[in-house]
Amino acid sequence: MSVTSGKRTGAVEIDSTAPVRADGLSVAYGADTASPVWALKDVDLTVPSGRFVSLIGPSGCGKSTLLRVLAGLLEPTSGTLSAGGTTPGDLRRSRATGFMFQDPTLLPWMTVRQNIGVLARVAGRPIGSAEAERLAELVGLKDFLERYPDELSGGMRQRVALARSYALDPTLLLMDEPFGALDEITRQKMNDELLDVWEKKSPSVFFVTHSISEAVYLSDLVVVMAPRPGRIVAQVEIDIPRPRRAEMRFTSAFTEYVGEIHTALTEAMNS
Amino acid sequence: MNARAALRKFLPPIASLVALVVIWQICCVVFDVPRFILPEPVDIARSVVDNFDVLMTHAGVTLTELLIGYALGVGSGLLLAIVMNFAAPLKAAIYPILVASQTIPKVAIAPLFVLWFGTDLLPKVLIIALLAFFPVLINTLSGLEGTDRDQLNLMKSVDASPWYVYRFVKIPSAIPSLFAGLKLALTVSVIGAVIAEFVASSKGLGFLLLSYNASLRTTELFATLVILIAISGLSFLLIVAIERMFSWQQRGAARRGGSTSIVPKGESA
């Protein structure tokens, strides 16, 4: 198991309509030892492109590992994973994968404008200043383009990170608890903004969260995972119409989904 | 920084410095200290003015040595830091030796340099470079290695080339510690210049110090020291000024001091 790096493949065809598909995907830490730890074991998952998928489960269930494999930052020990009609590694090397961390990870020496554009620039598809302004407007930061990250609040910084991911125009957008450090009010506001942005141009999103209601609110599909070994124990399709509105959190359908996932999670914890 | 803040910051140290000089002057007069032991500040000042041409001629020599030697030391330290950060095996091979070599008192090999490179500019430049090299190397390297892992992962997530990783992430994040190294290197460079001139030279401020000392012209010796202090002090301020321009941390600190937060109310910071 190693981090893929190095060779530019360049000529890989990205098919942004291809599903994300995992077949018998397993990742073991210490695979060559007597007692490997299975971060993921025999994970099968097929998700059509352009869906919003949340991964939820107790710590150690492998959701962050799955995200890292999807990002092409980690090679599976066995099994296969494909996205965008190719391997995650090729997708990353084609700079078609956006990754958002819990920490916004802005570069403190760059302005908001430069931060928004930096990944696209590194990826060889620099965005013009009009595009940077459009993205900033999309996340409500048009007046802050020339500011530095240390002048922004936590929510604003995460919005910059979102705009930066969108500047890449990703086929696959991976989000590792991006709003985990925010307070509840800001978090709900960010959820709505994320959906606004996502609905304009829908990449496939994999969103790791600890919040059941956040998962239900955002997703087309909630994948419930369990630890030791890391595996999928339930897949819950969320059939709530879009665009989602804050008041939908109080409908009975919403509550039922939350209950269903809660039950699956409780079983996962006790198993 | 506005004028009042500057005044608040710089007035106390300047005041105590002036007080010190005044006490010095009073002591010399009251206790009638022999001039060759401790000259009066007033005489030293007069000597600086009277000997200004001589002092400047020698200062020019020392300054030249300093400039070339410092540039050489800083340049090679920077370059090697980047190379070692880039190529881990190379670092493993030479870094321990470089660290161990720092136990050699470099001043002690100055006479050897005279033997090898003569008594002109070259041995002085090399000793200064040798002294300036290490603090720049160590600080830059630790700055490069201290780069935030998330920022590196971010670059990796778009398969960034090493060039972009250095340009956008590693070098900017190393800048604060690079400047710490530059300041340290400057201090040791001045020591290096004086020592190198002590060993063998016929010009420069170090040479001047030695010859005034030998002829017990203590007042002129102090005047030379004043010029030497002015040179290192002004160069230090120059580096601080450059740091203000380049360092994002300094910039942030200056701005935070100057204006209130612009984070709107109701938004969690």
Q: What is the pLDDT of residues B196-219, one digit of tens each?
A: 999 888 899 999 999 999 999 999
Question: How many helices and strands in chain A, by DSSP H and E?
Answer: 8, 9
Instruction: Identify the residue among B151, B154, B246, B247 best suited for mutation to test binding to A, counting A beta carbons within 10 A and taking the highest.
Output: B154
* Domain end marker among A117, A145, A169: A169
Give the relative orientation of helices B248-258 and B218-246 as an angle to the nearest 10 degrees: 80
Mean pLDDT of chain A: 87
Confidence of residue A1 (pLDDT cuts 50, 70, 90): very low
Based on its alpha-carbon atoms, the radius of gyration of chain B, rounded to whole angstroms, reads: 23
| Residues A110, A86 share a domain | no
Query: What's the Cα-to-Cα distance from A197 to each of A40, A67, A112, B83, B243, rounded to whole Å?
Result: 31, 21, 18, 42, 40
Confidence of residue A3 (pLDDT cuts 50, 70, 90): very low
Q: Give the number of other CB atoms < 10 A from CB of residue A234.
A: 18
Residues of A in contact with B150 (CB under 8 A): 101, 103, 105
Residue A5 resides in a domain: no
In the block, residue with structure tokens 């608040």 = B8
Q: What is the pLDDT of residues A20-60, one digit of tens each?
A: 999 999 999 887 778 888 889 999 999 999 999 999 998 88
Confidence of residue A201 (pLDDT cuts 50, 70, 90): confident
| Residues A54, A129 share a domain | no
User: Would you state the pLDDT for residue A11?
Assistant: 55
Between CA A37 and CA A43, with CA A38 as vertex, the angle to 5 degrees is: 175
The CATH T-level fold of domain B44-255 is: MetI-like fold (1.10.3720)
Residues of chain B with pLDDT under 70: 1, 249-269
| Residues A27, A83 share a domain | yes
Chain A interface includes B167 (CB < 8 A)? no
* CATH assignment of the domain containing A179: 3.40.50.300
Q: Could you tell me which residues are beta bridge partners of residue A27?
A: A40
Query: What's the Cα-to-Cα distance from B193 to each of A153, B109, B184, B206, B215, rounded to whole Å?
Result: 49, 14, 15, 7, 22
Residue A159 resides in a domain: yes
**Is pLDDT at A271 greater than 80 in this prediction?**
no
Of the candidates B158, B255, B263, the beta carbon closest to that of A95 is on B158
User: Would you state the pLDDT for residue B1?
Assistant: 57
Instruction: Identify the residue among B178, B249, B268 best suited for mutation to test binding to A, counting A beta carbons within 10 A and taking the highest.
Output: B268
Of the candidates A108, A119, A154, the beta carbon closest to that of B269 is on A154
Residue of B nearest to A68 (CA): B157
Query: What's the Cα-to-Cα distance from A170 to each of A15, B36, B66, rounded to whole Å?
Result: 12, 78, 53
| Residues A248, A175 share a domain | yes
Runs of H (alpha helix) within chain B: 3-30, 41-50, 52-86, 88-101, 110-117, 121-145, 149-157, 162-164, 171-199, 205-214, 218-246, 248-258
* Domain end marker among A152, A169, A186: A169
In terms of C-beta distances under 8 Å and separation of at least 24 residues, what long-range contacts does B117-120 make, across chains too? Answer: B119/B200, B119/B201, B119/B202
Of chain A, the percentage scoring pLDDT greater than 90 comes to 44
Give the relative orientation of helices B52-86 and B205-214 as an angle to the nearest 10 degrees: 130
The sign of the CA dihedral A126, A131, A137, A138 is negative
**Which DSSP state fits B2?**
-
Q: How many CA atoms, within 13 angstroms, populate the side-chain half-sphere of residue A97?
A: 33
User: Would you state the pLDDT for residue B131?
Assistant: 93
Q: Do A107 and B252 touch (CB under 8 A)?
A: no
Residue of B nearest to A124 (CA): B160
Q: What is the pLDDT of residues A206-246, one digit of tens each?
A: 999 999 999 999 999 999 999 888 999 999 999 998 888 88
**Is pLDDT at A169 greater than 90 in this prediction?**
no
Instruction: Look up the pTM and report it.
Output: 0.78
Give phi and psi for B44, each to the nearest 5: -60, -45
Three-class DSSP category at A224: strand
Q: Do A122 and B269 touch (CB under 8 A)?
A: no
* Domain end marker among A127, A142, A169: A169
Chain A interface includes B259 (CB < 8 A)? no
| Residues A144, A175 share a domain | no
| Residues A207, A231 share a domain | yes
Chain A interface includes B160 (CB < 8 A)? yes
Asked whether A22 and A235 are in contact (CB, 8 A), the reply is no
Give phi and psi for A21, each to the nearest 5: -140, 125
| Residues A68, A194 share a domain | yes
Based on its alpha-carbon atoms, the radius of gyration of chain A, rounded to whole angstroms, reads: 18
Residues of A in contact with B164 (CB under 8 A): 121-122
Residues of A in contact with B158 (CB under 8 A): 92, 95, 97, 119, 122-123, 168
- Total number of domains in chain A: 2
User: Would you state the pLDDT for residue A236?
Assistant: 93
In this structure, the strands spanning A231-237 and A221-226 are antiparallel
* ipTM of predicted assembly, 2 dp: 0.79
User: Would you state the pLDDT for residue B108?
Assistant: 85
Asked whether B159 and A93 are in contact (CB, 8 A), the reply is yes
Residue A7 resides in a domain: no
Asked whether A229 and A27 are in contact (CB, 8 A), the reply is no
Instruction: Identify the residue among A74, A107, A160, A185 best suited for mutation to test binding to B, counting B beta carbons within 10 A and taking the highest.
Output: A107
The sign of the CA dihedral B62, B126, B115, B111 is positive
Q: What is the 3-state secondary structure (H, E, C) of A152-171?
A: CCHHHHHHHHHHHHHHCCCC
Q: What is the pLDDT of residues A80-118, one digit of tens each?
A: 999 888 999 888 888 888 888 888 999 999 999 999 999
| Residues A143, A37 share a domain | no
Domain limits for position A188: 20-96+171-270
In chain B, where the domains are located:
44-255
Mean pLDDT computed over A236-258: 91
Of the candidates B168, B252, B256, the beta carbon closest to that of A107 is on B168
User: Would you state the pLDDT for residue B251?
Assistant: 59
Query: What's the Cα-to-Cα distance from B119 to each of B22, B163, B190, rounded to whole Å?
Result: 41, 42, 18
User: Would you state the pLDDT for residue A166?
Assistant: 86
| Residues A193, A135 share a domain | no
| Residues A184, A165 share a domain | no
Residue of B nearest to A143 (CA): B262
Asked whether B110 and B118 are in contact (CB, 8 A), the reply is no
| Residues A175, A80 share a domain | yes
Between CA A230 and CA A235, with CA A231 as vertex, the angle to 5 degrees is: 140
- In this structure, the dihedral spanned by the alpha carbons of residues A252, A255, A256 and A260, taken in order and rounded to 10 degrees, is 180
Chain B interface includes A52 (CB < 8 A)? no
Which string of b and e fits A39-48 if b means at least 16 CB within 10 Å? Answer: bbbbbebebe
User: Would you state the pLDDT for residue B257?
Assistant: 47
| Residues A264, A134 share a domain | no
In the block, residue with structure tokens 């942005």 = A197
